[in-house]
Amino acid sequence: AVGIWTLALKSDYISLLASGTYLATAYILVVAGAVVMVTGVLGCCATFKERRNLLRLYFILLLIIFLLEIIAGVLAYVYYQQLNTELKENLKDTMAKRYHQPGHQAVTSAVDQLQQEFHCCGSNNSQDWRDSEWIRSGEAGGRVVPDSCCKTVVAGCGQRDHASNIYKVEGGCITKLETFIQEHLRVIGAVGTGIACVQVFGMIFTCCLYRSLKLEHY
């Protein structure tokens, strides 16, 4: 559920990230969830039918789930530590070179949504837009910042970059995006690690049940 939630509702800004780690952690959780559903059915069958071979398979699947969840948790933690550096190195360049450029509609949409949702303008500040390909090319139509920087968005409002017209937040969009992603990485990491701990108990109980069935056969 957390993996699908991340992919469906929280992935709007993935196109602004240089690394695919954030997306990978979500996919790992989805795969782990699918394996859990299969494992649950298999575990019930193994228990009711008292089949030791099914219990062995059940244990192996629990181990796979455990490893997937641990990987997701570790990836989320590692990326959490690297996120600030990545955004500082890449976000300004991404916004300046890809905004409103052919083939980069996802970036354009993500940037507009980022600036409107978090009330910010530019990666560090509104002055960053002066170096963008979009402004330099003359396609901006006299704008000095995108219209999405405006407090009240109307066509052409980006022609004036006064503080009364656009968002001028200290730290720019980098700080806002970093906080947003870190919050979700904490959720992914906590869920991954938490469920992995539950799987440990599942494997212990499976071993106990397997041993009891073995003794009964003797």
* DSSP of 16-61: G-S-SHHHHHHHHHHHHHHHHHHHHHHHHHHHHHT-HHHHHHHHHH
- Residue 60 resides in a domain: no
Q: What is the pLDDT of residue 216?
A: 54
- Residue 168 resides in a domain: yes
The pLDDT confidence band at residue 143, using thresholds 50, 70 and 90, is: very high
What does the radius of gyration of the chain's CA atoms come to, in whole angstroms?
A: 24
- Residue 125 resides in a domain: yes
Q: What is the pLDDT of residue 171?
A: 76
- Residue 175 resides in a domain: yes
How crowded is residue 214: how many other Cβ atoms within 10 Å of its Cβ?
Answer: 11
Query: In the chain, pLDDT over 70 holds for what percent of residues?
Result: 96
Residue with tokens 């017209």: 165
- Residue 92 resides in a domain: yes
The stretch 121-129 carries a mean pLDDT of: 90
Q: How far, CA to CA in Å, does 58 sit from each of 107, 114, 165?
A: 43, 44, 61
User: What pLDDT digit, counting tens, does each position of 194-208 carry?
Assistant: 888 888 888 888 788
CATH of the domain at 159: 1.10.1450.10
- Residue 22 resides in a domain: no
Helical ranges in the chain per DSSP H: 2-9, 21-49, 52-98, 105-117, 133-136, 172-217
Number of domains observed in the structure of the chain: 1
Give the structural domain span for 116. 72-191
